[in-house]
Structure 1
């Protein structure tokens, strides 16, 4: 017999965990829609020439190629060697979005506000918390020709709303701007694009590796920067604002200290406008700050960038990130399509939250709200009529069809995480009532049959304490 084993690098959950995961998905979807984003889905695979716009590199080494058995047989039969697969599984949702917008450009309304929540695939080396198949939950605002920096303020507002709803503890949205970074490093004499990108790559790891490691790396043989320059880099990268006004003061200080860099001045101006609108959108100032070490995707983002962390669990790292880019679909169209967006890697986030004990599935919560047991075989028709009544009233209901001892049926409901049991015995049928047993509160009460739906709705709406 074949041993049943889950493939490595996937997050396969038991039903109670899947319920918790699904509710996080629902909360994210609800948050995206509340901000006016429209759903799209793209195929799990794309044409290889579309997906891999640049050959080689780490991306291609992580891609899963797709080849049908018929195509394989044909290539072998022709004796032409192994054919290059025409299809590959998507490794993120950004490249498919670029293709989608370029292909449907003349059918879309701009700014195009889309959300997408689907699985993506990467050939990651299997390890704890790293997955080959995982959910990404993205939103992007894409403009045609131009896109005002004002849209950059919506991303922190979206992040704030979603993680407030999910209720996983206090969080901070860390904001920076790539133009400000570029201008600052040019002022220090680090103007070569490759060197600047390499320095930014190291600075982006400051919160993980610490200042001593960064100092040693930048003064080492790989960079050879002077001690004075490195200390200025460290001082700048360690800036974290403590309040909205503090953020504005720090931007002013950076601008005053600058030698007049156009890039830095533009980055400061953009950050000021973004911060003002983030505040106007109602994001509490304790939930956002400036962090001058944040750079994100070094070859991709061009302006505002974001990273979100949990205040009480910094070891988890970023739980949501993103930023501004100048041209989404330059590989596929001559049109200029700037945009801004964020992404939540939900599979990894869920795993990390579970490992940190922030998601409690010990109660075995179920999507089933009520169980209708079979109290007596001769009452089966009445019990099924009650089941239909509850379902018609919008109550998720399971009916016991095979009968058995009532105690066993109640234990089943408890183990399955079903909170309510609707008992319909001979006395209830005669009286036109239903007895509701609340397994969480260890309580029961009887209600008229025609009020059972409304009574359950009231009980389900009340939080368990």
Structure 2
């Protein structure tokens, strides 16, 4: 069970909890790099103008200022576009990074980025004010083939599938499909309709229908048509026929249908059971232009999306030069918080150390260091006792630390190692002795399915 942080919204993990988080991060890095994504890191600070140029979430942005300004320097207001603020996601900083470094990058540019972000939300499980995200994106110069939308979804399904988490589902829609449909039924304010549909799971269809009518001037028939579209969910490409049965004709709708069909068709073949066409998914940020994705843990839907993103065609530009992209972001802290609070996975021990080298006397410290050095040279984590206490006390210390093995060397130079979990003690040579694969490194083990 994860501890409650003393400062709400800013989680800090115990060592054994941090090992679980590191396992998640290492697994994600490994999958991303296997698919050819290179790592970058952007600065934590952006200008307010840069952060807020797409989508209005200024209430969630943390401004950055010194406690005391230089003498004679006027403090910058929170709406000054040149004021500094902490980034609230990694997509907007990445778009800026691409524009500034376009002359040095090879396109399509594939990157992954794992960093802290900050967002001024009301803290609760799954929502922190400081948290880690893991993003992958592919960005093109001028154009980006749609096939990358398909690839990104498959990479994320593989990455999540390697983590110690319950079953998950990528819920995928396409903004072109939705916007084309709304225009086809006579609702031109497609952004407004999307914002209302995005509230469907929180407030229900009746209240969404009222919003569509009161705020966007929709008729009963238009509101019901929009809700019928949002109600379509399939695990295969049968959603295409269901949308067409609604009798709406629009070129943008057809384009979106075709794109979503390609994503779902590929997913059914390569990651069966992991992806759903869900036409209620809207995504709140305005910069998405095509594929949109939200991901939930089965049985933990109340946690919200653990991975989201999509296609953005106009977020990054330099003069007439545009850099369209597609990417997805995994909420690492949200995932780890749920893993810990629900005991979904645990580290096999609390520390990396596999062997605690005991002292027979204070004078033997140098020889004990030689043993530890020999073990470390072969990748076995070891630490040495600080003083020569009774062996029983040294064993208890190792046990409290969660170290599985204690190494003893007698005055004649004979070595033995004891597994303090089983009590078995055997002769050993520091140049050759090796623990089992399960003990040489910390293992993060998923809890058995109930």
Counterpart pick for 2:335 among 343, 349, 355: 349
1:166-218 per-residue CA deviation (whole Å, 9 max, x = no partner) reads 1211111111111111122222222x22xx32222222232344334434544
How far residue 28 of structure 1 moved from its aligned partner, in angstroms, is: 1.5
Alignment of structure 1 residues 62-461 onto 2, 5 Å:
62-68=60-66, 72-75=69-72, 86-190=83-187, 192-193=188-189, 196-219=190-213, 221-223=214-216, 225-242=218-235, 247-255=236-244, 257-279=246-268, 282-283=270-271, 285-330=272-317, 332-360=318-346, 365-426=350-411, 429-430=413-414, 433-439=415-421, 443-453=424-434, 455-457=435-437, 459-460=439-440
Give the Cα–Cα distance (whole angstroms) in 1 for the partners of residues 153 and 425 of structure 2: 45
Give the Cα–Cα distance (whole angstroms) in 1 for the partners of residues 218 and 354 of structure 2: 64
Give the Cα–Cα distance (whole angstroms) in 2 for the partners of residues 53 and 227 of structure 1: 35
What are the ranges of 5 or more consecutive residues in structure 1 without an aligned counterpart?
Answer: none
Give the Cα–Cα distance (whole angstroms) in 2 for the partners of residues 159 and 205 of structure 1: 25
How far residue 224 of structure 1 moved from its aligned partner, in angstroms, is: 5.3
Q: Which moved more, 1:407-416 or 1:392-401?
A: 407-416
1:76-127 per-residue CA deviation (whole Å, 9 max, x = no partner) reads 5xxx566767432222211211111111101100000011111112233445
Q: 1:51 to 1:172 in 2, by over 3 A?
A: closer
Give the Cα–Cα distance (whole angstroms) in 2 for the partners of residues 39 and 161 of structure 1: 18
1:289-333 per-residue CA deviation (whole Å, 9 max, x = no partner) reads 110101113511111111111112111121101100112313x54
CA contact 1:421–1:437 (8 Å) conserved in 2:
yes
CA contact 1:137–1:344 (8 Å) conserved in 2:
yes
Give the Cα–Cα distance (whole angstroms) in 2 for the partners of residues 224 and 328 of structure 1: 30
SS of residue paired to 2:162 = helix
How far residue 378 of structure 1 moved from its aligned partner, in angstroms, is: 4.1
Match of 2:13 in 1: 13
SS of residue paired to 1:110 = coil
Give the Cα–Cα distance (whole angstroms) in 2 for the partners of residues 414 and 224 of structure 1: 68
Q: 1:200 to 1:396 in 2, by over 3 A?
A: same
CA contact 2:234–2:277 (8 Å) conserved in 1:
yes
SS of residue paired to 2:233 = coil
CA contact 2:205–2:227 (8 Å) conserved in 1:
yes
CA contact 1:177–1:305 (8 Å) conserved in 2:
yes
Give the Cα–Cα distance (whole angstroms) in 1 for the partners of residues 144 and 357 of structure 2: 55
CA contact 2:76–2:83 (8 Å) conserved in 1:
no
SS of residue paired to 1:74 = coil
The Cα RMSD (Å) is: 2.8
Aligned residues: 438
Match of 1:35 in 2: 35
What are the ranges of 5 or more consecutive residues in structure 2 without an aligned counterpart?
Answer: none
Match of 1:60 in 2: 58
How far residue 443 of structure 1 moved from its aligned partner, in angstroms, is: 4.2
Q: 1:258 to 1:264 in 2, by over 3 A?
A: farther
* TM-score of the superposed pair, with normalisation by structure 2: 0.88
